[in-house]
Amino acid sequence: MAAIVLNNENFEEEVLKSDKPVLVDFWATWCGPCQKQGPIVEEIADSQDEIKVCKLDVDEVPEIAEKYSIMSIPTVIAFKGGETINKNIGLGSKEQLLALFN
């Protein structure tokens, strides 16, 4: 399943109220490392049914990026039960991103 694109309208429902763990990729179109991480995030979305995978463009939804203190991108945050449980700042491998849930 493709990653869900987040915005102000669906963030609470898709992330904070999710019954599954959620991986959120904070990225921007102009960010080179984000472009390299994009296919890794999509691969996780396609291969991991037990994790919901979402993407949030920090330029389109700056309020949420600010709320989670995103200062560098790419940043990936793992959520469980509506709470942040872990994060990875910078380009991460598939294994590193999946390990955020361990």
Catalytic residue among 31, 56, 58, 77: 31
SS3 annotation, 22-72: EEEEEECCCCHHHHHHHHHHHHHHHHCCCCEEEEEECCCCHHHHHHCCCCC
Residue pointed to by tokens 């491998």:
93
54 is catalytic: no
31 is catalytic: yes
Catalytic residue among 23, 34, 41, 76: 34
**Positions marked active-site:** 31, 34
